[in-house]
Structures are given as structure tokens and as C-alpha cells.
Amino acid sequence: MAEEKLRELPGTDSIHLLRRVLLQEVTDVTIVSLDFGYIPHEENKVTQIGISTFSTNKWRQLSLAVDASAIRSRCIRTPIKSLITSNFIFGEFETIYRRNLVDFLRETWAQKSPDGTTQRVVLYSFALEGVLDLNTITKTLELPFKTRPSLTRILKYLEIPFQEEYLHDAGNDAHLTLRGLLMLAAIAFRRMEVDEVVRGRIKSLKTIALDSIEFDLVTPDEMKRRQRDEDARKAAELRAKQGQVIKSDGDWLGADDEEACLGGSCLDSRTSSKHSI
């Protein structure tokens, strides 16, 4: 695989790999951050996948004042998980059947450059063994964690904006984990002898990692839920009105109360007239 070829380069430990990928020594690279959600009581079946990507080529083409829009985030859910309200704040979640997840991931690895060629892919995760991971990098940088840090502790230490109620959603976790990687890279690069160009890149990485997140906005999934509720309310009102029409008697189908009373009065007067004759 492409990421294995990168790891075969001399001296590609975590920090060296990041330096080569982010400081232009290796081009056409996409960093893919992964996070998985499981159902523990069902043999840890995957029900949710968070994927965030960071294209180094696109990043270099942008202004150094770039924000977190340089990160593209997606949340993939299986149908059973889609029944539960999502807290994904970086877009609308997508639904894919579990049997199609492997093919979906293969397509994700096949990142394309503008000229159509396949990009190199560096897989990255919070604590997924065998790929570049956040915990290993924090240990390499000798950050002040006495025990294996959680994502929450790392985000707090790096001052990356987050709110705990939005964690444990695979899409959000993948995005925030990728921000963590970029911030750790900036910390590592600041410890090196660098020129003005690299200092600009370090500033850009830090800007992306620390870019604000508007947590108070209604999530796309919540907007869809509210729209569904509104549509259901209108449909119920329409059914209720149609039911009133069906239940009405005689020539007064669909009549309101005033018309019904008037009709009743007319019938009563006709009946009284017949009796008087």
C-alpha cells in the first residue's frame, strides 16, 4: 500500500514522517484520520466510521491564513446507527450498509491528485496500532502525560476547541484527532532549525488546528430531524382535517360548527312545518 512505501523511507519514525509529508519533501500525500464506532454487545460490529482527510497538495496551494476548511470530514453510519440522532457537526452523516464498508474504505484510500494519479495515503488514528497514531506522537514529543492520555486530555493540553458532548461521535473524533496531529506537528517543527518558509507552514498548521468551532449552531442532523418532525405534524393535521370531512353527515360535508348549527336549524324548522300541516 502507499502508506507502506512511505514508511520504507529511511528514518521514517512518526516525527520524521510528518516532516517529510508536511514540509514538501514528499508530495501528493493525503493524511487520512480514522475513527470507528462499535456495538459492544454485538461482537464489536462497526456501526460508524469517521474519516477526515488533509491533502498536502491542496494545503500548499492555499494561503497561509487557511482555516480548518482545509480538513474534509465525513461520518459514515450503518442503517441501524442512523436511527439514532447524530452529533456530527461537520456536515450531514452518510448511510452505508455494513456489507459495503470495506469497498467504501478501499475507495477512500484511492485518493486522486488533480492530474488523476493516485496519491500516497498516510493512515492516522487516535490509538490504532500499525498506523501513525496520536498516542505514539505525544510520547515521542515527551509531553507531560504520566499515563496513556485520552483524546479529551490531549485536546485540552493542545488547547484545541471541543465540547465533551460532541465526542464519541466517530466523525467528530476523526476531525479533532486530525487537528491534534497538525498541532503536534507544529510543536515538533518549532523545535527544529527552520527557515522563514517553514515558519510560515508551522503557523498555518497551528491556525488550522486551533480554528474555532461553532458548537452552538444546530447540527445538520438536528435540522433534518426538526424538518421531519414539522413534516409529520403537518401530515397529522391534514389527516385530521380529512377525517372530519369523512365523518360529516348529509349535505354538510366538511362544514364548520356554525354551518352545522345553521343546517340543524333548517332541518328542525322543516320538521316543525310538516307537523303543523
Question: What is the CATH number for 153?
Answer: 3.30.420
Query: Are 121 and 66 contained in the same domain?
Result: yes
What φ, ψ does residue 122 adopt, rounded to 5°?
A: -110, 115
- Other Cβ atoms less than 10 A from the Cβ of 250: the count is 9
Query: Are 30 and 152 contained in the same domain?
Result: yes
Query: Are 122 and 232 contained in the same domain?
Result: no
Query: Are 118 and 237 contained in the same domain?
Result: no
Of 217, 243, 266, the position where a domain reaches its end is 217
Query: Are 79 and 196 contained in the same domain?
Result: yes
25-80 pLDDT, tens digit per residue, is: 677 788 999 999 887 766 668 889 999 999 888 888 776 657 888 999 999 998 87
Query: Are 55 and 154 contained in the same domain?
Result: yes
134-176 pLDDT, tens digit per residue, is: 888 888 888 999 888 999 999 999 999 999 989 999 999 999 9
Domain range enclosing 69: 2-217
Nearest to 35 by CA among 74, 3, 9: 74
Of 195, 217, 239, the position where a domain reaches its end is 217
Of 172, 200, 217, the position where a domain reaches its end is 217
Q: Which three cell numbers stand for residue 26?
A: 514528499
Overall number of domains in the chain: 2
pLDDT for residue 249 is more than 60: no
Q: Number of C-alpha atoms within 13 angstroms, CB side, residue 87?
A: 14
